[in-house]
Chain A
Amino acid sequence: DVKVTQSSRYLVKRTGEKVFLECVQDMDHENMFWYRQDPGLGLRLIYFSYDVKMKEKGDIPEGYSVSREKKERFSLILESASTNQTSMYLCASSPNREAEDTQYFGPGTRLTVL
Chain B
Amino acid sequence: GQSLEQPSEVTAVEGAIVQINCTYQTSGFYGLSWYQQHDGGAPTFLSYNALDGLEETGRFSSFLSRSDSYGYLLLQELQMKDSASYFCAVNSGGYQKVTFGTGTKLQVIP
CA distance A102 to B87 in the complex (A): 13
B-binding residues in A (CB < 8 A): 31, 33, 35, 40-45, 48, 50, 56, 58-59, 90, 92, 94-96, 99-108
Q: Most A CB atoms within 10 A — which of B33, B97, B101?
A: B97
Interface size on B, residues (CB 8 A): 24
Closest chain B residue to A35, Cβ basis: B100
Could you say which of B30, B35, B98, B102 contacts A41, with CB atoms under 8 Å apart?
Answer: B102
User: Contacts A41-B102, A100-B96, A101-B98 given; 19 further ones with Cβ under 8 A?
Assistant: A31-B95, A31-B96, A35-B100, A40-B8, A43-B100, A48-B95, A48-B97, A56-B95, A56-B97, A96-B96, A99-B50, A101-B30, A101-B48, A102-B33, A102-B45, A102-B48, A103-B35, A105-B43, A108-B42
B103 touches A50 (CB 8 A): no
A18 to B47, CA, bound (A): 38
Assess the B45–A103 pair: CB atoms within 8 A: yes
Distance A59 CA – B89 CA, assembled complex (angstroms): 14
Residue of A44, A45, A100 most packed against chain B (CB within 10 A): A100
- Is B65 in contact with chain A by the CB < 8 A criterion? no
A103 touches B50 (CB 8 A): no
| Given contacts A42-B103, A101-B91, A94 and B96 within 8 Å (CB-CB) | yes
- Closest-CB distance, A93 to chain B (whole angstroms): 9
A-B contact pairs, 22 of them (CB 8 A): A31-B96, A33-B97, A40-B8, A40-B102, A41-B102, A42-B87, A42-B100, A42-B101, A43-B43, A50-B95, A56-B95, A58-B97, A90-B42, A99-B48, A99-B50, A101-B31, A102-B48, A103-B33, A103-B35, A105-B42, A105-B43, A107-B41
